[in-house]
């Protein structure tokens, strides 16, 4: 009888493995995105700020804001600053992950175009020297038709499941006028709930009882 109870204790304890999903949001904003701060030759380069986009740009990805290092978006802004061609600025966001990664996504817009680097690994190379009728004519640009989209399969090889991560965007000015970056996405990790760890312990205890009674 005791042996049967121990077996039941072990099986029930080890099969009940509830998981909790943790979603880490990623989004461009003055609060979450830093930049290289020193932009050579630009005396008004400053901390990342949310900007009003150029009227020709796509709306920001839900949950995010167009960002820059100064007022480089809407051309009708009295403080509008035209970024010289050849300028590039790197914007970054760092985030902590803890547990197996079960999903990831990232959408990116930029004027004129941008590279995307995850933990020092190139995910996408900027379309430099291309056609710029309105930003880049191919991904990644500032229109919905040239939005960069990345999925779990593309992001997973470069993400660190247990520790800090940094995603960076080097935005290039290739055709004058406006300049900016917008991105949003998330990373989902799965970790055992505290109750699961207790149940696993109960399962191992049950196995120990079986051995003892045997």
Distance CA 27, CA 60 (A): 10
Digits of tens for pLDDT over the chain (214 positions)?
444 434 433 444 444 456 689 999 999 999 999 998 656 556 556 899 999 999 999 999 999 999 999 999 999 999 999 988 988 999 999 999 999 999 999 999 999 999 999 999 999 999 898 889 899 999 999 999 999 999 999 999 999 999 999 999 999 999 989 999 999 999 999 987 665 444 444 444 444 444 445 5
Are residues 9 and 88 both part of a single domain? Answer: no
- 170 and 85 part of one domain: yes
Q: How many domains does the chain have?
A: 2
CB 184 within 8 A of CB 27: yes
Instruction: Say if residue 93 is in the same domain as residue 8.
Output: no
Identify the CATH number of the domain in which residue 177 sits: 2.60.120
The parent domain of residue 86 ranges over 19-192
The model's pTM: 0.81
Do 38 and 60 reside in the same domain of the chain? yes
Same domain? For 37 and 64 the reply is yes
Are residues 201 and 135 part of one domain? no
């Amino acid at each position: 009888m005791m042996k049967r109870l121990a077996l039941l204790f072990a099986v029930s304890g080890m099969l009940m493995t509830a998981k909790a999903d943790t979603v880490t949001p990623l989004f461009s904003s003055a609060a979450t995105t830093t930049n290289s701060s020193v932009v050579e030759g630009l005396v008004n380069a400053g901390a990342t700020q949310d900007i009003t986009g150029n009227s020709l740009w796509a709306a920001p990805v839900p949950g995010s804001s167009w960002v820059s290092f100064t007022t480089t978006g809407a051309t009708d802004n009295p403080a509008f600053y035209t970024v010289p061609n050849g300028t590039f600025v790197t914007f970054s966001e760092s985030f902590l992950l803890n547990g197996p990664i079960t999903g990831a996504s990232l959408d990116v817009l930029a004027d004129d175009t941008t590279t995307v680097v995850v933990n020092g690994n190139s995910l996408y190379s900027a379309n430099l020297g291309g056609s710029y009728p309105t930003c880049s004519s191919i991904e990644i640009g500032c229109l919905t038709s040239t939005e960069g989209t990345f999925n779990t399969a593309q992001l997973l090889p470069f993400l660190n499941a247990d520790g800090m991560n940094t995603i960076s965007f080097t935005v290039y000015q290739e055709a004058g006028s406006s300049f900016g970056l917008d991105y949003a996405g998330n990373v989902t990790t799965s970790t055992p709930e505290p109750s699961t760890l207790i149940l696993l312990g109960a399962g191992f205890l049950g196995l120990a009882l079986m051995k003892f009674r045997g």
